[in-house]
Structure 1
Amino acid sequence: MTRFGVVLIAEDCSRNEWAARCRRAEALGYDVIAVPDHLNLLAPFPTALLAAEVTERALIGTYVLNAAFHRPALLARDVVTLNRLMDGRLELGLGTGYVRAEFEAAGLPFGAGTRTRTLERLVAELDRLLEHKRPPLMIGGHGDRVLSLAARNAEIVSFTGAPFRPEYGRTALVDAGTLLARVAHVRAAAGARSSQPELNVLSKATVLTRDRRAGVRSLRRYAPDLTTEQLLEVPTIFAGTPAQIAEQIRRDRERYGFTYVTVMDSAMEDFGKVIEHLR
């Protein structure tokens, strides 16, 4: 069984609007409702708690907390409190952060090595502070160190498939072969763990169309250097009819081992039609 999550964006959102969107996500069949951690959005923990209050079944996740924004002891307290008030429905997602302007606004260093070391320290401290009280941990990223950390320590490894590309000044999707190599890296780094991590993939966009080629071409901004054929193959965007996308997800599960798919807020309604074909 594949699980499905959606990252909901809370920006200038009223309580009633947020509650309605969370209920809608659950009604569409999403297993996880996740909140991001960016300075221009409402804070993740209050929005996550409200999501839990207005839903019944879905887990509530963070996709993902920026490790640099959170001190270990304070985050440990907040995680325990939040998970208790949610009756154990929290899925804790962590990452390095990637928006330089947010680091500058917070007065934090942005170097890649610094951000990765911060995440490594945070994960180690949370394991020490929370011991058996830690909820399921997801770590998301693309680089060797972050994925190795996830493979060794997390219950869920999330593949963004989109490293920062200096030539574009932003992240961009890699091709299917590169992502397969990332999966192989995680499997090797996980080694002989008694319980292998669940593999998640973050999809950037979904286009419902009868013309798959035209659909992926409309998403070229996410991967400017990939050909149409390569775009048709990557598991990080979806284009086609709901039935075609459902079949792609089945193939991706066999090829990559992805048993958990997360989509962005803008795709929630369209991808909900795909979920209907996979239940």
Structure 2
Amino acid sequence: MTEREFRFGVVAGRAASGDEWAATARRAEELGYDTLLIPDTLNTMAPFPALAAAAAVTTRLHVGTYVLSAPNRAPGLVAWEASTLQLISGGRFELGIGGGRPGAESDAAALGRDFGTPAERLARVAETIDAVRELEKPPSVLVAASRPRMLGLAAERADTVALGLAPRSTETDLARTVETLRSAAGDRFAHLELHLNVAAVAPTLADVPPWVSRMIGSAPVEGGIAFLTGSAERIADVLARRRDEFDISYVGVSGFFMEQFAPVMELLRR
């Protein structure tokens, strides 16, 4: 398998003003990040208009959803929005989609949508991918997955697979999930880009701000895959090893820590 070059994304979704959001996008591009990613929750900005605004004030930065909750929108609506964003961004849009994070049922209800059963949500993800693939200029597709059935769909249909493991998961959990994906994908595994998100970057676990625990719903733990601690060199070594062992080449970082992670990104790109 050819070793993929690293890609790095900033995950952000809130701002006090349009100017602040534009500054976030510009700063992400200035620091050298590849993508600006936005969640799909009622506690963050609406993804498509926010990404359109980010694309308008940048030139190289790709913009993407991380990830759309499939129950919230009809497949045709997603395709329409994706087509428009691809056009106005000059082809810099990347669609991320999943079956809905824990707690997403209340968002769907507030939007007047039926959240559905796990099987129905899986089917909606597949239908949305089908609708987007039919576009004249379809974006790349990221599927967030952690359980066997969604991993199976991602193995068959995605360009990128975001490994949606809990922040406290260990590398043993990560290895098991990657192996499930590898088995499902077969020969196609070599063509998949694997993504893993980082919740916090700090010198030590004790330096992780308390609000991180409230935001992700769990306290940081030693060995948790979503917490990167130590010097930039140490963190770079961890991520290089994860690429070697688990084929993870796309790393997403919370926007709250994009400045702290920038030296790591520089090291990995040398």
Give me the TM-score of the superposition, normalised by structure 2.
0.87
Equivalent in the alignment of 2:36: 33
Equivalent in the alignment of 2:13: 9
Report the CA distance shift for 1:238/1:119 in structure 2 as closer, same or farther (over 3 A).
same
Measured after TM superposition, the shift of residue 213 of structure 1 is: 5.9
Whether 2:68 is the aligned partner of 1:56: answer no
Report the CA distance shift for 1:136/1:10 in structure 2 as closer, same or farther (over 3 A).
same
Equivalent in the alignment of 1:255: 245
Report the CA distance shift for 1:272/1:103 in structure 2 as closer, same or farther (over 3 A).
same
Q: How far apart are the structure 2 equivalents of 1:33 and 1:217?
A: 23
Determine if contact 1:173/1:223 at 8 Å carries over to the other structure.
Answer: no
Determine if contact 1:156/1:198 at 8 Å carries over to the other structure.
Answer: yes
Measured after TM superposition, the shift of residue 188 of structure 1 is: 1.5
Determine if contact 1:190/1:196 at 8 Å carries over to the other structure.
Answer: no
Equivalent in the alignment of 2:21: 18
Tell me how large the CA RMSD over aligned residues is: 2.5
Unaligned runs of 5+ in 1: 163-171
Measured after TM superposition, the shift of residue 76 of structure 1 is: 1.1
Q: How far apart are the structure 1 equivalents of 2:39 and 2:209?
A: 27
Report the CA distance shift for 1:225/1:185 in structure 2 as closer, same or farther (over 3 A).
farther
Q: How far apart are the structure 1 equivalents of 2:43 and 2:189?
A: 40
Whether 2:126 is the aligned partner of 1:120: answer yes
Q: How far apart are the structure 2 equivalents of 1:158 and 1:200?
A: 4
Q: Name the count of aligned residue pairs.
A: 260
1:181 aligned partner, one-letter code: R
Measured after TM superposition, the shift of residue 46 of structure 1 is: 1.0
Q: How far apart are the structure 2 equivalents of 1:95 and 1:88?
A: 22
Determine if contact 1:216/1:238 at 8 Å carries over to the other structure.
Answer: no
Equivalent in the alignment of 1:245: 235
SS at match of 1:137: strand
Unaligned runs of 5+ in 2: none
Percent identity between the two aligned chains: 35
Determine if contact 1:174/1:223 at 8 Å carries over to the other structure.
Answer: no
Describe how 1:209-228 pairs up with structure 2 within 5 A: 209=203, 212=204, 214=206, 228=222
Whether 2:157 is the aligned partner of 1:150: answer no
Describe how 1:49-198 pairs up with structure 2 within 5 A: 49-98=52-101, 99-107=104-112, 108-109=114-115, 111-127=117-133, 129-130=134-135, 133-162=137-166, 173-193=168-188, 196-198=191-193
Q: How far apart are the structure 2 equivalents of 1:255 and 1:148?
A: 21
Measured after TM superposition, the shift of residue 10 of structure 1 is: 2.3
SS at match of 1:9: coil
SS at match of 1:193: helix
Measured after TM superposition, the shift of residue 53 of structure 1 is: 1.1
SS at match of 2:179: helix
1:74 aligned partner, one-letter code: L
Q: How far apart are the structure 2 equivalents of 1:227 and 1:264?
A: 17
Describe how 1:222-237 pairs up with structure 2 within 5 A: 228=222, 231=223, 234-237=224-227
SS at match of 1:276: helix
